[in-house]
A and B are shown apart, each in its own frame.
Chain A
């Protein structure tokens, strides 16, 4: 097998192992918390005891957690039931929404989250990298200072605060919608009207998320480009008489992108879990909102599902980053 193939196999193996650990950890993590999901899923302690018993049995909570030492099949436990269902692709039924499949809830929320995250990420990556490059190129000049100040400010600003400010300004001055994905119950004459409505709803949350990310991307990009600018080969390139554009395009950009790829991959992985605060401010029914509510409801199946998805997203994003690394810097895949 070629070095490249081995590299791929090794990385995939690590990814799978990580997931197996995460699945186990996820399961145990929620069960060491105090509280009784059969009751707290109901958010009300005055359930009649029959209902609590019936629910416990329904959720499988009457079984031992890891090992059945009380006789019978030692593997008849909550953990094996969870693994078995997971292997069949069944994430179970929510405790708090007792007639809803976890996979449906998460699927629905994931679509909404991607709907919000992807435009914001694209915007942030393009503008953040552009701004970072620009600032590095104009280092020390007023443009650099302005860009740097803007980025530091955005990076330091709590995102929910930024969201609320944008919401109040956007709604009161520009008549933008308060939140949600689309005008509920709206009748649209044409596809164009629908697109405008969706765009208006998307504008504020996307802007909030993008602004917060731009600051971070810009700062990393700037410092990474500056570092590369100090390298000897840049000096050589300049000495050869290349234009500034040529130096950046052919020599600096590719090397400066390495830390950016890591950063983008990491944020992308985590934002899949939902931009929790942005979702809360703009009533966006995404994964973040789902997870937050599941925590307060002790809704184990939803939490397990959401954390599994988060883990898969982070692992996949890292895997993608490693592969892109290999492409950007061929030394990585050979070593």
Chain B
């Protein structure tokens, strides 16, 4: 067993109603500008009236184990932490935006005031304090489950075994740390 945590998230799109509470909770937690958001929700429609349904898919930095953003960073500002979080040393970031283009999930955002790049960091300051990220704790539908996948007893580890999950853009071999449950 590995004592080092490996943080991951499971997003159950069958529970998401597209309310955007996660987005604004995140903006407040991270002190973001109105136009800066680390979360977005993609809406899709299926079927023909009256046999119809919609799906809301929340998306953000996928904290890839094989992150394309890091490979293109010329200064080493983007880096992978040993706990799985893809982080940005804003001290080293020169705002070149190569990473924004490289990210297949469109997850990186320019800090409007200062010019550096930032994105979802799994609310490190909260998880270090033993709390869930802001987007997880605010969600009344329980769409998001967050936890340590190195701990076989964690809720997320058990759910990854019992539920059929997938990751976004699996063919790209990015190996995201965010897993999804999606009704076909």
Q: Does A associate with B in a complex?
A: no
